[in-house]
Amino acid sequence: MHRREVLRLLATGSLLQLAPSNLFAVLREAHGLIQSQTSPRTLNAHQLATVKAMAEMIIPRTDTPGASDVGAAEFVDLVLTEWYEEAERTRFLSGLADVDSRSQALFGKDFVDGSSLQQSDILMALGEKMVEQVGEQPRPLRRRGASTPANFYAMFRQLTLTAYYTSEAGATDELHFEMIPGSYQGCPAEPIKEEPEQR
């Protein structure tokens, strides 16, 4: 399986079918690529700020790291650049532009400049539209991982959740993922006393 194909599966949420060792290797590579990235390659500065603001609304910082803390926006840029086909990338960027258009129409400002209440209103409207579109699809098309979602907000949420829960903080702090579960007890430090045989 090629890296591009594996990470495409990652972006569409289908990686759970892979063996855990393959999954771990792919996720380490993806997050390693994010850390080596110095600037976004598909998103411009404003788009990256919009993605960060939206992702932080979905997974805010609490007593655990938020989406911004784990580089969710950079992960989205990486997937858009390296693994999305041109049509998927165009659909995503068009949806991102629509977020600002909605914000301008409702509040007279871009999404990133809106208050958290205004941003929440826009995301709620996008979520309602997503639910309506999913409900209109025939049942076989609703299966997870069938393809990249056609709805922008579904794509965005999927990428954000994948970015977060495949990061070290998301996997360990939230999911309590252990590469090797359990503990190794080994031999005791003191010799075991043998009981005398009974006759």
Closest CA to 2 of 117, 114, 83: 83
pLDDT of residue 132: 87
- Spell out the domain ranges in the chain: 3-174
Residue-wise pLDDT for 129-159, tens only, equals: 988 887 766 655 555 544 556 789 999 999 9
Q: Rounded to an integer, what distance in angstroms lies between the CA atom of residue 162 and that of residue 172?
A: 14
DSSP state of 177: -
pLDDT of residue 152: 93
